[in-house]
Chains A and B, each alone.
Chain A
């Protein structure tokens, strides 16, 4: 089943070939990166048939068996993440073809873009603690550099802060991996799950504590959030779309989900910690987003709030909780990528993202206004847009688990979200301004936004009933993880 590793190979090949041959030619390197990302999307689509027929695909790198070699695995859960990731990346690459014109040395942007994508794909397919760490670091280092890509003063400072905190997070994860190796003598997840089922000791609490704090730092849950607004708001807009829409979810949320629900199944209490962290960051992020003077900073705080919803649903657990977590991941990835691309389109014309300096975009950039409205309404949970369905499922799950207070807070935070987005809309889009003459952005910038906007508008009504069978399989993986059975043979 060689298709499983093809996204990583394609993106690595794209990075090194662009760095070797085409980095002087900016258009050519962009087109090369786009074509490699489309190839990767095709390979992921072809992979889907095998995943859902066989429940999971296990791949031994170099032909080495489980305790010795590196094992790769794709099941329904990681396939959904893989599909969303590989669907959004070509659109972001398409957007950057025009957006990156104003930067010098844009060839290096595509090299780093390919590296970050290879790292994210690698995290999703690997089933080995150290391999996950290596891919995590590949994508993290590429993202540190991409935040500082514009070389403006604030960007350098944001990148410095992000690098220091990201390094601390990775170090904490590495210590947890070292403790696992010292305790059990294995790094393979299947082997570890098989061994750890029978031991229930205080040392494992240390390991899971390190893991939760490390991944909470990567996900930007409440006490560890302070690097996110700077890094995500000051990076170039396609980079913000990757970081906010995909990066924090794959490196933080997906791995947290695996660790909590699949690997350390003997500690169901750890879900309470995640629930608490998610609840606090949900409230805090939305309150902070109310009082911002920059569009991208508002979006960044909104990301903290929405990733809080995902963590909350994960903490509540049960069928509806897991379903809500996965659906909210999918729809929030689409919507937040759309919104950051949108802010990039505004920045492309107006050269600024300050709320005070933008007025009357409704007449000047009608398509941008429409796509922005659909993204904002989706995140605020207005039917029939995407995030409405995920939020209502999260609220149902809270009620089913008798957390009535949490269900009420979910509704209130959703209303606050609608509040700050309506404030943005009234100030920026639906206001009058006769002085500036500004045209709609070009085709390359517009098409990715329109595709994403159509998807989040229709997905809830049209695609969700058809896709529910696949998402149910992913939820099944979260409820009982049978991967360790391959050790019994």
Chain B
């Protein structure tokens, strides 16, 4: 049984995927120096998984990044961002940038901006993927002139 799109789409998306993910990670890490940041980088990463979803069908993608794993990762991203803010309490004020600022135009030059970008990227990437996969799970099927609604329980676990 051949699920998903045609062989051309599958091959091309297989070749493109690693580059897209690396580009997304670079957008996240250099968010404080170049255009981009946690949100655009996260969207790029989740778009890559959506590309795989379209090309191969959701069973293959959920093997790579299961719903359980992405659920945990997006909550972890939120807690990471909150803890970046809470670290500021060590200096006395919420969200205080207590890290060493480093040299301008190098990767380590924004203090806690790097950590907040990473956590936002984690949160946005996984939760956007989660939203699209969950929306795609509900499907409506016409069966003997009757509309039926399917939502696979085993997919969610």
Contact = CB atoms under 8 A, between A and B. Distances in A.
Interface in A1-49: 2, 5, 9, 12-13, 16-17, 19-20
A61 interface: yes
B82 interface: yes
B89 A19 contact: no
B94 A61 contact: yes
A60 interface: yes
Given A2-B89, A16-B75, A20-B76, A62 B95 contact: yes
A62 B89 contact: no
A182 interface: no
Contacts of A62: 88, 93-97
B6 to A, nearest CB: 38
Contacts of B76: 20
Interface string A279-312: 0000000000000000000000000000000000
B20 interface: no
B96 A63 contact: yes
B75 A19 contact: yes
B33 interface: no
Interface in B37-95: 72, 75-76, 78-79, 82, 85-86, 88-89, 91-95
Contact of B79 (A2, A5, A17, A63): A17
19 contacts: A2-B89, A9-B85, A13-B79, A16-B75, A16-B78, A16-B79, A16-B82, A19-B75, A20-B72, A20-B75, A20-B76, A20-B79, A59-B94, A60-B93, A61-B93, A61-B94, A62-B93, A62-B94, A62-B96
A9 B82 contact: yes
A5 B94 contact: yes
Contacts of A19: 75, 78
A62 B86 CA distance: 11
Nearest to B91: A63
A9 B86 contact: yes
A244 B75 CA distance: 30
Nearest to B79: A16
Contacts of A2: 89, 92-94
Interface of B is mostly: helix
Interface string A53-79: 000000111110000000000000000
Contacts of B78: 12, 16, 19
Contacts of B82: 9, 12-13, 16
A61 B95 contact: yes
Interface of B: 72, 75-76, 78-79, 82, 85-86, 88-89, 91-97
State which size class the interface on A falls in: 10 to 19
Nearest to B95: A62
A20 B89 CA distance: 24
Contacts of B88: 62
Contact of B93 (A12, A13, A17, A63): A63
B74 to A, nearest CB: 9
Q: What 7 A-B pairs are tightest by C-beta distance, nearest first? A: A62-B95, A20-B75, A16-B78, A19-B75, A63-B93, A16-B79, A61-B95
Nearest to B83: A13
Contacts of B72: 20
Contacts of B92: 2
Contacts of B97: 62
Given A19-B78, A61-B94, A62-B94, 20 more contacts: A2-B94, A5-B94, A9-B86, A9-B94, A12-B78, A13-B82, A19-B75, A20-B72, A20-B75, A20-B76, A20-B79, A59-B94, A60-B93, A61-B93, A62-B93, A62-B95, A62-B97, A63-B91, A63-B93, A63-B96
Nearest to A62: B95
Nearest to B97: A62
B120 to A, nearest CB: 14
Nearest to A20: B75
A138 to B, nearest CB: 12
Residue from A2, A9, A19, A63 with most neighbouring chain B CB atoms (10 Å): A63
Interface string A89-119: 0000000000000000000000000000000
Contacts of B85: 9
B16 to A, nearest CB: 32
Indicate the member of B78, B86, B88 with the most A CB atoms within 10 Å.
Answer: B78
Interface string A368-398: 0000000000000000000000000000000
Contacts of A20: 72, 75-76, 79
Nearest to B71: A19
B83 to A, nearest CB: 9
B71 to A, nearest CB: 8
A61 B95 CA distance: 6
Interface string A431-453: 00000000000000000000000
Nearest to B77: A16
Contacts of B96: 62-63
Contacts of B91: 63
A105 to B, nearest CB: 11
A388 to B, nearest CB: 42
Contacts of B75: 16, 19-20
Nearest to B74: A19
A90 B17 CA distance: 48
A59 B93 CA distance: 9
Nearest to B72: A20
* Residue from B75, B96, B97 having most chain A Cβ neighbours under 10 A: B75
A25 B72 CA distance: 16
A17 B91 CA distance: 25
A226 B82 CA distance: 38
A13 B89 CA distance: 15
Contacts of B94: 2, 5, 9, 59, 61-62
